[in-house]
């Protein structure tokens, strides 16, 4: 993959995945991340009305996470890694680092890669790709590998 410094997004965030091929294991940044979808979760409404209720009653259900698309520009080696991640279909541990002053924060979450799309070749001869997947489990500020 290109240099980690190329992993910086215009919105001042980097996205990395937990890489067990490194020794020791560590996070590796996706190179040239151009954009990514919203990261979040939402609890559905669950009805809990009983015969004793005066009106319909509701409570939040279990939070469900959102799907996310990550747009990246990759060289051949980077695309091979992304394709292998999708083909394996196993959970990736992602780290999103928002760096602007005043909102600097790091989020960690599991990500199930569900597919990818290939676009055109950009001016730097990198392949425009989108990695599509769904967040699984909790979204945390605590590194699960610390």
Please report whether residue 97 resides in a domain. yes
CA distance 90 to 94: 12
Please report whether residue 47 resides in a domain. no
Our count of domains for the chain comes to: 1
Q: Quick check: 85 and 92 in contact, CB under 8 A?
A: yes
Range of the domain at 75: 4-41+59-140
Mind listing the pLDDT tens digit for each residue in 90-127?
899 999 888 776 777 899 999 999 999 998 887 778 88
Please report whether residue 92 resides in a domain. yes
In this structure, what DSSP letter does residue 32 have? T
Q: In the prediction, which pLDDT does 101 show? A: 67
pTM equals 0.76
Mind listing the pLDDT tens digit for each residue in 10-26?
557 788 899 988 878 89
Q: In the prediction, which pLDDT does 2 show? A: 39
Please report whether residue 54 resides in a domain. no
Please report whether residue 10 resides in a domain. yes
Place of tokens 């992602």: 94
Please report whether residue 48 resides in a domain. no
Please report whether residue 65 resides in a domain. yes
Kindly report the CATH number assigned to the domain that includes residue 123: 2.30.110
């Amino acid at each position: 993959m290109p240099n980690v410094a190329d992993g910086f997004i215009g919105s001042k965030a980097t996205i990395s995945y937990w890489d067990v091929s490194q020794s020791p294991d560590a996070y590796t940044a996706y190179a040239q991340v151009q954009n990514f979808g919203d990261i979040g979760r939402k609890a559905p409404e669950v009805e809990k009305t009983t015969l004793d209720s005066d009106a319909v009653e509701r409570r939040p259900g279990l939070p469900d996470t959102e799907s996310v698309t990550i747009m990246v520009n990759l060289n051949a080696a980077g695309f091979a890694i992304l394709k292998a991640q999708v083909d394996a279909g196993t959970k990736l541990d992602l780290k999103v680092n928002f760096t602007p002053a005043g909102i600097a924060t790091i989020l960690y979450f599991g990500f199930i890669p569900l597919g990818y799309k290939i676009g055109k070749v950009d001016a730097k001869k990198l392949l425009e790709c989108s990695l599509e997947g769904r967040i699984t489990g909790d979204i945390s500020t605590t590194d699960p590998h610390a």
